[in-house]
A and B are shown apart, each in its own frame.
Chain A
């Protein structure tokens, strides 16, 4: 029982740590909710930047021939779109959610390493500036633009680009990598050391488990990305020959190292969304999560298997047949734990008392869209058929299903799910539902034609295409513009909710909500669980 002296000390402690105001609050903050919000706002801005870039790309692809931009600008837009969406949008968005939610979910007062947390975030804007600034400098006669050899930065065999764009990208990747690694260390330490008494690992919400696996993946593959871009920098400027065949190097080594990072990256992007989905489904089905342990084992199985299948991205590069066979079967085997997870999701809502609020719609939409991504992904590593798919628009259409249909839809659902908790106000449900249905419709309008035109033979990355591919490209471009416009509804809904337009949210927000975060008021106070919660004891 708390003595009066302890209570006084705690009260004084609370007053001492009152909510700071002004810009310095955000620059110096070590509060996990502040840093979580900073991550989310940053990622939303970068989502709009990279989205605008790809709208210009789709405008160019509306018709065959060159209409809107030079090929060099087109290549830069495609590259920046990929790099920003992966490194500066989805990953920081997932990190924002982990910062905001994990301490509250496990009953901790903050992340274990709050200063490292602040540092990890404030690296990001500088990395974003480094990525983008060469693009603008080219219009003033400085350099030849931003990186333009796609997000895989394949700058080895043909020396595709020699200017400052690639160098700035390499430096930006280092910064983004440091941010990811510090974030991953923070999550692992927080989960291992900061759980409230009674909150065992097997009691944690699945989101925490998903982030634990993600963090170990980050810890093992991001350093490899850091190493490969350092080697690239040395090959470019310091006379080494890691990847230059004429100097005894191995161009294929670049691909192996990059994809050793690149394929687990898919799961780094997806796992946090897979972790938040069961919470949304069980809330609106008013049933407990089905197969909790099975899903945790599935996360680990996907994370571990997913780290040893990288060369399915390189099946046309001439690796030995035995290697091709291994990577084909190993890749396909990932579908087993993935299917376990999907069946658990379906079993969670099976015979539930379901209602279809916006987060639930996004959750269900995510299952369908991710399913399409998974199924189209199963055919690509087939070594008999790979040559037809390789480097075509089919691959572009395919990977947007897990990335957009899986991760982005999942986090849009999570945004609607937690927005009332974060802001203390309900969002506009009608606008939310409109946003969902239009997003679902238009995203398929963008990505299905990409797969069709890819199967017909259109290569990816190219600014122009044969007239026979026109119809599908026109449909895809119109879909992209409509999809982009639809996101303004999302933006409006977030801003108006943050400004307090909607009705007041209760602490529990949703009738079926479970979890420690829903025992706190909406919005939660600046400091939460400074004393361990009683609920889990």
Chain B
């Protein structure tokens, strides 16, 4: 593999993965709305 990013929209694979992990975390926290209501 020459580079982990062949195409890319300006984000490296690691950064995109972290961003998507953040999305998952957001939905996890959102589901607890009864707790922080």
Contacts and interface: CB of A to CB of B under 8 A. Distances in A.
A219 B23 contact: yes
A250 B34 contact: yes
B34 A195 contact: no
Interface size class of B (residues with CB under 8 A): 20 to 34
Interface string A263-303: 00000000000000000000000000000000000000000
A260 B13 CA distance: 29
Interface string B3-34: 01111110111101100110111111111101
Nearest to A228: B31
Interface string A484-526: 0000000000000000000000000000000000000000000
B35 interface: yes
Contacts of A257: 31
Given A112-B13, A193-B4, A226 B28 contact: yes
Contact of A193 (B5, B30, B35): B5
B12 to A, nearest CB: 8
A231 B21 CA distance: 21
A530 B27 contact: no
A256 to B, nearest CB: 10
Given A112-B13, A189-B16, A224 B1 contact: no
A219 B6 contact: no
B6 A108 contact: yes
A242 B6 contact: no
A220 B17 contact: no
B20, B21, B24, B32 interface centre (most CB from chain A within 10 Å) = B24
Contacts of B5: 193-194
A185 B37 CA distance: 30
Interface of A: 108-110, 112-113, 116, 181, 184-186, 188-189, 192-197, 199, 219-224, 226-228, 231, 242, 250, 253, 257, 260, 530-532
Contacts, number: 84
Nearest to A215: B20
A192, A253, A257 interface centre (most CB from chain B within 10 Å) = A192
The 7 closest A-B pairs by CB, nearest first: A227-B31, A223-B28, A223-B27, A112-B13, A224-B31, A185-B20, A109-B1
A184 B34 CA distance: 27
A220 B7 CA distance: 25
Contacts of A221: 27
Given A108-B6, A194-B6, A223-B25, A253 B34 contact: yes
Contacts of B9: 192-193
Contact of A220 (B11, B27, B34): B27
Contacts of B21: 181, 185
Nearest to B27: A223
Nearest to B1: A109
B6 A196 contact: yes
Contact of A112 (B17, B30, B34): B17
Given A193-B4, A194-B13, A224-B31, 10 more contacts: A112-B4, A116-B17, A192-B8, A192-B9, A193-B13, A194-B5, A197-B7, A219-B20, A219-B23, A531-B2
